[in-house]
Structure 1
Amino acid sequence: MSVRQSRRGALGRHLAAAGTVAVLLSGCANHPTDAAVVDGTTISESSLQTTVRAAARALGAAPTDINQRAVLASLVQGAVVDEVAQERGVDVDPRARESLINTEPQLQAFAADPEAAPLAEALADVALVQQQLGPEAFSEAFLAVPVTVNPRYGTWDPTSQEGLTGTGSLSVESYTTP
């Protein structure tokens, strides 16, 4: 084997190893710029950041005061509910949505900002679709929608109240006994 062939082989192994590391670090999201993917519908990192900034404006807060994971969980829930509504043939009445939004000052504030309005709609639609389907049918359909979340935000858990669980850390502590 010549020196040139040996270098090519080493370069190929390094590139393969780098590709494996890139796949591991990108986690389960389809693309690193995806915050989440709900049954093929992408919630991009940029749309998440836009919504976080808009929510902060609507609430008169700094963007750093807004819990990104909570906003992402709400957007994911909204996208899941959209899938459920489409699959089950449920139409969300815009007047019912507006009426529900008008009962909650925080939702009103979000709805008043065009970039935060999807957050208000997502939160309202969860309640409206659940009401139309009934709790059992809604839960069954909600749990069946595939969701992939960028690991930096944690893990999607539709059974938890928060929606996203875990630390979002890509590393796991290892415990050893002395």
Structure 2
Amino acid sequence: MKFARLAMMVPAVAVLGLAACSPAPTTAAQVGGETITEATLSSTVEGCAELGATATRAAMLTPLVIGEAARQLADEERVDLGGLDEVMAGDPQIAPYLANEGCARVGEAQALLGLLYTELGQDVVVDAILGTDVTVNPRYGDWDTTNGVVAGSGSISVPADSQG
């Protein structure tokens, strides 16, 4: 099931961390109308590394993309995010990420998914996130619309549609 894959993706990337072409070279990904910059990705990677993460930049880009798509969905559906901080602080799987501002984005994505699942239902959330227009800088691969992850060779010398 799609929702099971997406639901497990953010924690899976987090566990790993703790145990087409882009419009500009400073862009890691474009999610809907919002840009995830290379600086934001670097801050996340460095922040999570300080907490012991060993995930690649491409792997850390995945929760940033999902988090941004989830934020856009929350805005579109007018979901009240007032309780998000409480959810993050009270969840023992998310709380460790909050120890570092850069890595907190990974925990925020996971908490936001949980909140949206409760408010809108998993199927609605997963379908919306997988249906979001995402363009990933080719150095990281492609956005896999089936599994909701950044995947592929991450090579700028390989055509985007041949990268898994």
Structure-2-length-normalised TM-score:
0.75
Query: Displacement of 1:42 after TM fit?
Result: 0.8
Alignment partner, residue 105 of structure 2: 118
Structure with more contact order per residue of length (Cα contacts < 8 Å, sep ≥ 6)? 2
Higher alpha-carbon Rg: 1
Alignment partner, residue 166 of structure 1: 152
Given the superposition, is the C-alpha separation of residues 167 and 104 from structure 1 closer, same or farther in structure 2, using an over 3 Å criterion? farther
- Paired-residue identity, %: 38
Alignment partner, residue 65 of structure 2: 76
Correspondences of 1:24-63 after superposition (within 5 Å): 27-57=20-50, 59-60=51-52
CA distance in structure 2 between the partners assigned to 1:133 and 1:167 by the alignment = 34
The one-letter amino acid paired with 1:44 is: T
CA contact (8 A) 1:97 1:125 kept: no
Alignment partner, residue 85 of structure 1: 74
CA distance in structure 1 between the partners assigned to 2:89 and 2:57 by the alignment = 21
Task: Provide structure 2 residue ranges, at least 5 long, that are not aligned to the other structure.
Answer: 1-19, 160-164
More helix by share: 1
Deviation readout 1:118-145 (Å, 9 max, x if unpaired): 2211121112112211122223322332
Alignment partner, residue 11 of structure 1: none
The one-letter amino acid paired with 1:124 is: A
CA contact (8 A) 2:88 2:108 kept: no
CA distance in structure 2 between the partners assigned to 1:153 and 1:141 by the alignment = 22
CA distance in structure 2 between the partners assigned to 1:120 and 1:85 by the alignment = 16
Alignment partner, residue 108 of structure 1: 95
Q: Secondary structure at the match of 1:171?
A: coil
The one-letter amino acid paired with 2:135 is: T
Q: How many residues align?
A: 140
User: Displaced runs of 4+ in structure 1, greater than 6 A?
Assistant: none
Query: Displacement of 1:101 after TM fit?
Result: 4.7
The one-letter amino acid paired with 2:131 is: A
CA contact (8 A) 2:131 2:145 kept: no
Deviation readout 1:67-96 (Å, 9 max, x if unpaired): 2212100000000001111111112233x5
CA distance in structure 2 between the partners assigned to 1:135 and 1:47 by the alignment = 27
Structure-1-length-normalised TM-score:
0.70
Query: Displacement of 1:100 after TM fit?
Result: 4.5
Q: Secondary structure at the match of 1:119?
A: helix
Given the superposition, is the C-alpha separation of residues 31 and 160 from structure 1 closer, same or farther in structure 2, using an over 3 Å criterion? same
CA contact (8 A) 1:38 1:76 kept: yes
Q: Secondary structure at the match of 1:152?
A: coil
Q: What root-mean-square deviation, in Å, do the aligned CA atoms of Structure 1 and Structure 2 show? A: 2.1
Q: Secondary structure at the match of 1:28?
A: coil
